[in-house]
């Protein structure tokens, strides 16, 4: 029980802290609609299962201990975040209106894929699972590893689905309608800064 509480608290702090996943869900909520944002949340949750699988099999230790693998993963993730950020910043009003009219026809799979890719290349998530699975959890119990993985994936999905619900609610949009475009571009700038921070750190 103590082990579960430790994992739950660590995961809570990790999932609610600002980062690429939170910025992405905010972007999806503002740029598209609730359905797309929730599918993106599901992609992030499945990404958590991917990290758990790597941790259970020991591959996550191999990736983080190998400088080449780790650098490649960071670069891929940062370039993808850079693309999403630029797309949010330079998206003109006409394009935004077109997206608004056609948002119900957007492919759900695209939203899911964006969430999945963003999470599996999230360096913060990788380091979190290295810490939790190597220090906190008893690696000798395979059932507990699977249970914790499913729990964290579900909790992550529910948290970001909640964020999606709040940011796409009529109350939120009515209150901040005049700032939504600026807010979206601000989130885009955050994504760009996050990606550049990773890239510059790798080049130093």
Instruction: Answer whether residue 17 is part of any domain.
Output: no
Domain of residue 138 covers 22-203
pLDDT tens string 24-57 = 898 888 878 888 899 999 999 999 888 888 777 7
Stated pTM of the model: 0.72
The whole-chain average pLDDT of the chain stands at 75
Instruction: Answer whether residue 14 is part of any domain.
Output: no
Residue 203: partners with Cβ closer than 8 Å, 6 or more residues away? none
C-alpha separations of 119 from 7, 50, 61, 127 in Å: 19, 9, 17, 12
Instruction: Answer whether residue 194 is part of any domain.
Output: yes
| pLDDT at residue 79 greater than cutoff 50 | yes
pLDDT tens string 1-29 = 677 787 788 788 778 877 788 888 988 88
Domain count, the chain: 1
């Amino acid at each position: 029980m103590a082990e579960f509480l430790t994992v739950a608290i660590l995961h809570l702090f990790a999932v609610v802290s600002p980062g690429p996943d939170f910025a992405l869900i905010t972007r999806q909520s503002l740029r598209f609609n609730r359905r797309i944002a929730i599918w993106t949340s599901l992609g992030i949750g499945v990404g958590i299962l991917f990290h758990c699988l790597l941790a259970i099999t020991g591959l996550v230790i191999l990736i983080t201990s190998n400088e080449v693998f780790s650098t490649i993963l960071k670069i891929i993730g940062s370039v993808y975040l850079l693309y999403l950020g630029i797309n949010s910043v330079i998206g003109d009003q006409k394009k935004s209106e077109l997206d608004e009219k056609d948002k119900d026809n957007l492919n759900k799979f695209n939203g899911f894929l964006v969430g999945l890719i963003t999470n599996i290349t999230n360096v913060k998530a990788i380091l979190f699972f290295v810490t939790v699975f190597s220090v906190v959890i008893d690696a000798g119990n395979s059932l507990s590893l699977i249970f914790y993985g499913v729990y964290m994936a579900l909790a992550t999905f529910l948290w970001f689905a909640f964020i999606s619900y709040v940011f796409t609610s009529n109350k939120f949009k009515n209150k901040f309608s005049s700032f939504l475009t600026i807010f979206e571009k601000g989130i885009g700038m955050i994504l760009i800064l996050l990606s550049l921070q990773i890239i510059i750190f790798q080049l130093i």
